[in-house]
Chain A
Amino acid sequence: MKEAIKVEQLAKSFTYYTKEVGVINSLKNLIYRKSLTKQAVKDITFSIAKGEMVAFLGPNGAGKTTTLKMLSGILHPTSGSLSVLGFKPYERKKEFKKRFAIVMGQKSQLWADLPAAESILLNRYIYQVEEQTYKRTLDELVELLDVKHVLNVQVRRLSLGERMKMELIAALIHKPELLFLDEPTIGLDVITQQRVREFLTHYNKHHKTTIILTSHYMKDVEDLCKRTLIINDGRLVFDGNLNQVHSAVNETKIVKLKFSHSVEASRLEPFGSVRQTDGFAATLEITKEQIQPISRELLDLFPIEDITIEEKPIEEVIVSLYNRTQPV
């Protein structure tokens, strides 16, 4: 399979300065500013095949968006090499720009005072899309996202979900081979999130578009991407299927118990970490190796009505990954 993106030892640092609270410090700042350097991305290496749909996960400030901005040519890398669709993005060649699109959940490319149709038409001229192709693509996207009725409504009067769908249409009107999505479902209601996810899955499948997505919503990642890159503190700490995260980093399981009579929390403490208890129900976190003997012991010692053993919620596993700065 051909590579769409190849990144080696990519790094990006920014300079910034701090200022203490108060007027005096503002005056001091006028005369002297101490420059500090933040390494937003630290020597990350990965490659993404054409047609793949990959998620970037990580806490705020981890370096996801900075990486995305380097891949799309918005930012110059400080060091390392990167190739996107055979181009060096930071050269910002027109031929490269015609082949990808970027959608940012918190920024808009649509003119707020105009109907979205006008901004989409402007993109047709900017990307020099043939009229027939433009009409066909627009019809297909409008149909898929079910927004025909609001195409001619002023953008500022649209709901957040409708606006995001229009952003997607404006971004896809030139049929890019590569689509960067920076938190595309942020702030959307659950149903609209679901519609956007369905649309992206369909689009990726039918057009073989490579999609790179950053998101805070685990559901986005679980539903859309087989492969996840987890970035923390500028480093790549995990690269693989999200389902493998459990086996890779999770050493505990969650045991949920229901009792027929009240059981004191202190009696459960020797068996594992007690996460929650109200006398008649309790949740324990137990290491994987001990799960069998301890379950047996619990069944023998306590008036148990029901017992379930579950994997730790994926969100919690990810949080534990966020605390790592070394690859798994």
Chain B
Amino acid sequence: MKTRLGTLKTYGIIYLQFIKNCFIAQMEYRTNFILGIAVEIAYLLSKLLYVVVVYKSDLHIGDIPPDGILMFVGTYTMMTGLYSGLFFTNFVRISDYVRTGELDLLMVKPISLQFMVSLRYIDLGMPIPNLAAGITMVSIGWSALGITVTAYHLFLFALYLLSALVITYCLMIIPAILSFWFVNTGGLAGIFYAIWDANNMPMPIYPRLIQRIGVYVLPFLVITNFAPLSVMERLDGGLMLWGALVPILLLVCVRLIWRKAIKNYSSASG
């Protein structure tokens, strides 16, 4: 136990170093930093048009009113911010590491290669607009629906957000890991981005079969649905348990695939 805590501390310190290094590197290119935020704001505004349409047309999805839909869109926006800030930059580089053999120098470090490769770069600018807008939308929706702010509700929301973060990591890294076999997996990554974007509305909008697949097979729908559904008290016991278990199951699967992938690494010449 003591050793595990020690290891966790070491990784925590290294992750802080990653954040520090990324901050210093990004501050070197101020214009790019500000432009990145501006582009993300423009992208966000286009997404917010959905919200305008939802309110104007008084759209109800199942029995979820526009204020409820706002909570889903808000959660989706927050998760997009977290994904772009914590994972995206790392995942797109993995196939390059494989193709150019850059992985060689990372592989010889005495820490987890998966940790090093998948969490080393943190984008500190891009997530700001998404996180700010996401939190605002969730707060407005939460308040408009009259959901009481209790420690239990906050805990539930945070738990399913954490679960969503782990699921995001596990699902979105899959195309990158497959590059160990197929080298270039940009096509598959494109499909995953499209599925990700299909997640910005509550899942009752989809037919039951798609919902089943999206919750149990490729659990993208858990990412933005479970946190708002939990505080709206629309998640039954089975789904609540599934929402807590699925990130653990996925982490184990990704870990196993990663190990197999690394064995398959053939480096590059030179």
Chain A contacts to B: CB under 8 angstroms: 14, 61, 65, 69, 72-76, 92, 94-95, 97-98, 100-102, 104, 106-109, 111, 113-114, 118-119, 121-122, 125-128, 154
A122–B105 contact, CB under 8 A?
no
A113–B109 contact, CB under 8 A?
no
Task: Specify which chain A residues have a CB less than 8 angstroms from the CB of B17 in the assembled complex.
Answer: 121-122, 125
Interface pick from B20-28, B58-66, B130-138, B241-249: B20-28
Interface pick from B165-173, B201-209, B261-269: B261-269
B110–A127 contact, CB under 8 A?
yes
Task: Specify which chain B residues have a CB less than 8 angstroms from the CB of A65 in the assembled complex.
Answer: 269-270
Q: Which residue of B lies closest to A154 (CB)?
A: B28
Q: Which of B72-111 contact A (CB under 8 A)?
A: 101-102, 104-105, 107-111
Count of B residues near A, CB < 8 Å?
26
B6 to chain A, nearest CB (A): 10
- Given A14-B266, A102-B105, 7 other A-B contacts at CB below 8 A? A94-B110, A95-B110, A98-B110, A107-B104, A114-B25, A125-B14, A126-B111
Chain B contacts to A: CB under 8 angstroms: 10, 13-14, 17-18, 20-21, 24-25, 28-29, 101-102, 104-105, 107-111, 263, 265-267, 269-270
A284–B109 alpha-carbon span in the complex (Å): 53
23 A-B contacts (beta carbon < 8 Å): A61-B269, A69-B104, A69-B267, A72-B108, A74-B104, A74-B108, A74-B267, A75-B266, A76-B263, A92-B107, A95-B110, A97-B109, A97-B110, A104-B105, A107-B101, A107-B104, A111-B21, A121-B17, A122-B17, A122-B21, A125-B10, A125-B13, A126-B111
A75–B269 alpha-carbon span in the complex (Å): 12
Given contacts A106-B270, A114-B21, contact A74 B10 (CB under 8 A): no
Task: Specify which chain A residues have a CB less than 8 angstroms from the CB of B108 in the assembled complex.
Answer: 72-74, 97, 100-102
A107–B105 contact, CB under 8 A?
yes
Q: Which residue of B lies closest to A40 (CB)?
A: B269
Task: Specify which chain B residues have a CB less than 8 angstroms from the CB of A74 in the assembled complex.
Answer: 104, 107-108, 265, 267
Task: Specify which chain B residues have a CB less than 8 angstroms from the CB of A61 in the assembled complex.
Answer: 269
A125–B111 alpha-carbon span in the complex (Å): 10
Given contacts A14-B266, A125-B13, contact A104 B107 (CB under 8 A): no
A104–B107 alpha-carbon span in the complex (Å): 13
A108–B106 alpha-carbon span in the complex (Å): 10
B25 to chain A, nearest CB (A): 4
A98–B108 alpha-carbon span in the complex (Å): 9
A97–B107 alpha-carbon span in the complex (Å): 9
B187 to chain A, nearest CB (A): 13
B111 to chain A, nearest CB (A): 6
A200–B164 alpha-carbon span in the complex (Å): 50
A104–B20 alpha-carbon span in the complex (Å): 26
